[in-house]
A and B are shown apart, each in its own frame.
Chain A
């Protein structure tokens, strides 16, 4: 599957991302599935990324309305109450400039396109792996210079 990072790579990533002059990366996992939330939370934790979880798009929007900010948002597409497309549009309309990566089991190009057009910076098909997260993180470090 190619999703496994060796320990030295994780260490290098940790050093790069958590340099003493650079604050630790924070992330928000948005997914209605408790199994997926647990796995994504652990994957991020294993990479040294502090993270919280939200069970749907509305919760993701509310947590931002309360003033919290995250460097990275991993956004599922299909969720009750508010789906990922709507949540992404709302967050962008609120002026949230975090890196938002769509993480979904949808594979059709038009579905991916609709999600991207809502304001995503990146998109990956499930299952999420450490390698995929690293490729997303490189976008954060590129944005911040």
Chain B
């Protein structure tokens, strides 16, 4: 019983740190509220969909950033999709960096796009790692 309580506290602490460190916003809480006995893994399922969607877009944006000259309209379009997916799961930092990237696209600032994209990839990878650890811990019997 004590071990279970300890695990629950650990899980709650992991979850809270995601909000405290600015990785997640209240949209993640909305997803949690949609989880119930009939849909017990809804949050993880949606986040997994997001990984699939966003991994594809990151590769696409990387390739687009290698081209010369840069097609800012295309880059903006790809990042619009990425931002939509990130916003839907409450990925706060990544969403902010997506917005910044799009502003650089509008300004035709290639260097700004590239720098922001590196930050975005870093924060995306961090969030993904932390969420995977969180869901792993949250699995029944873990």
Contacts and interface: CB of A to CB of B under 8 A. Distances in A.
Contact of A46 (B34, B49, B87): B34
Looking at chain B's contact residues, is the secondary structure mostly helix, strand, loop, or mixed? helix
User: Which of B36, B39, B42, B84 gathers the greatest number of chain A CB atoms within 10 Å?
Assistant: B84
A129 B34 contact: no
A126 B87 contact: yes
A70 to B, nearest CB: 21
B7 interface: no
Interface stretch (B23-31, B60-68, B113-121, B132-140): B23-31
Contact of B88 (A1, A4, A39, A46): A39
Contact of A105 (B27, B39, B53, B84): B84
A35 B80 contact: no
Interface string B83-94: 111011100000
A46 B45 CA distance: 16
B33 interface: yes
A78 B80 contact: yes
Contacts of A39: 31, 34, 46, 88
Looking at chain A's contact residues, is the secondary structure mostly helix, strand, loop, or mixed? loop
Interface in A4-51: 4, 32-36, 38-39, 42-43, 46
A4 B53 contact: no
B49 to A, nearest CB: 5
Contacts of A105: 80, 83-84, 87
A33 B81 contact: yes
A120 B70 CA distance: 36
Nearest to B32: A4
Contacts of A38: 45-46, 49
Interface of A: 1, 3-4, 32-36, 38-39, 42-43, 46, 78, 105, 126-127, 129
Interface of B: 26-27, 29-31, 33-34, 36, 39, 42, 45-46, 49-50, 52-53, 80-81, 83-85, 87-89
The 10 lowest CB-CB distance pairs between A and B, nearest first, are A1-B26, A35-B88, A35-B85, A35-B50, A42-B34, A35-B49, A33-B84, A3-B30, A36-B88, A127-B27
